[in-house]
Amino acid sequence: MLTEQERHEIDEEVAAVRGHARAAVVEALKVVQRRRGWVSDDDLRDVAACLGMTPAEVDAVATFYNKIFRRRVGRHVLLICDSVSCWIVGYHALLEHLRARWGLELGATTADDRFTLLPVACLGLCEQAPAMLLDGELYGNLTPARLDAILATHE
Amino acid sequence: MPDLREYAGAGGYAGLRAALKMTPTEVQGMVKAANLRGRGGAGFPTGVKWGAVPLGPAARRPKYLVVNADEMEPGVMKDRLLMEGNPHQLIEGIIIAAHAIEAEHAFIFIRLAYREAAERLRRAIAEATAHGYLGENILGSGFSLDIRVHRSAGRYICGEETALLNALEGKRPIPRAKPPFPQTVGLWGQPTVVNNVETLCNVPHILRNGPEWFRGLSRSADGGTKLYGASGRVRRPGAWELPMGTPLREILEAHAGGMEEGYQLRGLLPGGASTDFLTPAHLDLPMDFASVMGAGSRLGTGTIVVLDDRTCPVSLLISLEQFFARESCGWCTPCREGLPWVVRLLRALEDGDGRQEDIARLEEHTRLLGPGRTFCALAPGAMEPLQSALHYFREDFTRHVTERGCPWRKELVV
Nearest to B232 among A66, A88, A122 (CB): A88
Looking at every residue in chain B, the average pLDDT score rounds to 96
DSSP track, A35-93? HHSS--HHHHHHHHHHHT--HHHHHHHHTTSTTS-SS---SEEEEEE-SHHHHHHTHHH
Cβ contact, residue pair A85, B231, below 8 Å? yes
Could you read off the pLDDT of A96-142 as tens digits, one per residue? 999 999 999 999 999 999 999 999 999 999 999 999 999 999 999 99
Rounded Cα gap, residues B125 and B135, in angstroms? 10
Return the CA Rg of chain A.
18
The predicted model gives A80-100 an average pLDDT of 96
What is the pLDDT confidence band of residue A18, given thresholds at 50, 70 and 90? confident
| CB-facing half-sphere around the CA of B410: CA atoms within 13 A | 1
Helix (H) or strand (E) holding B208: helix B197-209
- For residue B193, CA distances in Å to B182, B199, B206, B255 come to 6, 12, 19, 34
| Chain A environment of B256 (Cβ under 8 Å) | none
The pLDDT of residue B412: 40
| SS3 at position B270 | strand
Cβ contact, residue pair B239, A87, below 8 Å? no
Q: Is A26 on the interface with B (CB under 8 A)?
A: yes
B283 and B324 within one domain: no
Whether ipTM exceeds 0.85? yes
Question: In Å, how far is B210's CA from the nearest CA of chain A?
Answer: 32
B182 and B156 within one domain: yes
Which residues constitute the domain of residue B388?
A: 313-413
B86 and B203 within one domain: yes
The predicted model gives B159-166 an average pLDDT of 98
- High-pLDDT (> 90) share of chain B, %: 98
Query: For the stretch B166-183, what's the b/e string if a residue is b when 16 or more beta carbons lie within 10 angstroms of its beta carbon?
Result: bbbbbbbbbbbeeeebbb
Q: Which residue of B has its CA nearest to A136?
A: B113
B81 and B168 within one domain: yes
The predicted model gives B375-380 an average pLDDT of 97
Q: Are B381 and B271 in contact (CB under 8 A)?
A: no
Helix (H) or strand (E) holding A109: strand A108-109
The predicted model gives B270-277 an average pLDDT of 97
- High-pLDDT (> 90) share of chain A, %: 97
B237 and B210 within one domain: no
Total domains, chain B:
3
Last residue of a domain, one of B308, B338, B369: B308
Residue B410 has pLDDT above 60, yes or no: no
Rounded Cα gap, residues B375 and B332, in angstroms? 6
- Give the single-character DSSP code of B170: T
Residue B413 has pLDDT above 80, yes or no: no
Cβ contact, residue pair A23, B168, below 8 Å? yes
Return the sign of the alpha-carbon dihedral for residues B379, B323, B333, A64. negative
Question: CB count, 10 Å around CB of A21?
Answer: 19
What is the pLDDT confidence band of residue B408, given thresholds at 50, 70 and 90? confident
Helix (H) or strand (E) holding B109: strand B105-110
- For residue B104, CA distances in Å to A28, B76, B219 come to 25, 31, 36
Cβ contact, residue pair B273, A83, below 8 Å? yes
Residue B221, domain member (yes or no): no
Cβ contact, residue pair B111, A61, below 8 Å? no
The predicted model gives B159-185 an average pLDDT of 97
Cβ contact, residue pair A61, B170, below 8 Å? yes
- High-pLDDT (> 70) share of chain B, %: 99
Last residue of a domain, one of B308, B324, B343: B308
What is the pLDDT confidence band of residue B409, given thresholds at 50, 70 and 90? confident
Rounded Cα gap, residues B410 and B414, in angstroms? 9
Question: CB count, 10 Å around CB of A93?
Answer: 14
B206 and B104 within one domain: yes
Residue to mutate among B305, B324, B409, B410, with most A CBs inside 10 A, is: B305
* CATH number of the domain to which B376 belongs: 1.20.1440.230
Return the closest-CA partner of residue B279 out of B299, B308, B240.
B308
Size of interface A-B (CB pairs under 8 A): 140
What is the pLDDT confidence band of residue B121, given thresholds at 50, 70 and 90? very high
Q: Is A20 on the interface with B (CB under 8 A)?
A: yes
Q: Which residue of B has its CA nearest to A48?
A: B170
* CATH number of the domain to which B241 belongs: 3.10.20.600
Measured in whole angstroms, how far is the alpha carbon of residue A120 from the centre of its chain? 10
B212 and B235 within one domain: no
Q: Is A149 on the interface with B (CB under 8 A)?
A: no
Residue B414 has pLDDT above 70, yes or no: no
